Amino acid sequence: MKVLHIWNPASIASTIAKYQAKLLGWNTWVIARRALDKYCLTVYGELLDCGSKEFATIALLKARKYDIIHVHMLDKLIPILKIVYPWKKIILHYHGSDIRGKWRQKQKYWRRADLIIVSTPDLLEGAPENTHYLPNPVDTELFKPKPELRSPGTALFITSSEPKHQTSQQWAINVARKLNLKLDIVNREKTIIPYRKLPLLLNRYEYFIDHRWVPALSKTALEALACGLKVVRWDEKIIQGLPEQHKPEHVVRKLTKLYLTILT
């Protein structure tokens, strides 16, 4: 099977494509734009030095060589891909704010896809009946425990200028006080952490305090769990250990079954 992943939010496409190749022996690849990948998320695949229009053209040309085109977030590409390649199977994969509360206004794009996937269960609200939830995978070869780096009694909260992070910051401070933890707050926009170095940062802490703006674990929280941290989630429940459903082997198996529903 040949699968092209277009775009790479939170390195999800890189992880899926890597393990599709590793576990199934498939010919997979990922393309994204270098200018919009400041965190170096594309650890599997390639970054293209081009603008948005040129990227769309390159994506269309590369799609010729693949059986399945798995598009992440960029739903405006779906109608174009279907016009150029009506016989190919096109997957549309939404990841969060790209579709949350926007199902009706984006219907002209998603209705052309052969399969629609979402990354968190809350995104199923308002979705068409043929939409499927696929848990976010974590690259467990990259994110793994390094207990020798761990500092007991410490916690990490990652923020940005986005309102959803700002509204959670004071809550994170209060949680750390309640648990008597020394809290470090890292602004990801001011301190750029390359994706390959994120495991080294996470492994320095005993706890990771996640956001609370939506009842779903963030991708970084899942990566923290894979590194052996305790995670404080939105309801202040403390969890530990990466859930089986987020391990790459499980995600790839489930995605393969979803692919087969449109290939047979």
Tens digit of pLDDT per residue, the chain (264 long)? 999 999 999 999 999 999 999 999 999 999 999 999 999 999 999 999 999 999 999 999 999 999 999 999 999 999 999 999 999 999 999 999 999 999 999 999 999 999 999 999 999 999 999 899 999 999 999 999 999 999 999 999 999 888 777 789 999 999 999 999 999 999 999 999 999 999 999 999 999 999 988 889 999 999 999 999 999 999 999 999 999 999 999 999 999 999 999 998
User: Are 128 and 257 members of one domain?
Assistant: yes
Are residues 156 and 132 part of one domain?
A: no
> In this structure, is residue 194 part of a structural domain?
yes
Tokens of 80: 């174009």
User: 126: left (phi > 0), else alpha (psi -120 to 50), else beta?
Assistant: left
Same domain assignment for residues 82 and 195: no
Query: What CATH number did the domain enclosing 131 receive?
Result: 3.40.50.2000
Q: Are residues 11 and 95 in the same domain?
A: yes
Together in a domain, 169 and 73: no
Same domain, 126 and 9: yes
Is the Cα dihedral 197, 200, 204, 208 positive or negative?
positive
Query: Are 99 and 28 contained in the same domain?
Result: yes
Query: For residue 141, is it within any domain?
Result: no
**Is the residue at 206 inside a domain?**
yes
Write the DSSP symbol of residue 210: P
Residue 142 lies in a domain: no
Q: Is-contact 126 107, C-beta < 8 A? A: no
Range of the domain at 40: 2-136+248-263
Same domain, 160 and 110: no
In a domain, 14, yes or no: yes
Which two structure tokens, joined as six digits, stand for 140?
Answer: 């467990």
Overall domain count for the chain: 2
Quick one: 31 and 57 in the same domain?
yes
Q: Is residue 172 within 8 Å of residue 144, measured between CB atoms?
A: no
Give the pLDDT score at 165: 76
Does any domain span residue 167?
yes
CA dist., res. 72 & res. 13, Å (int): 8
Residues 55 and 185 in one domain: no
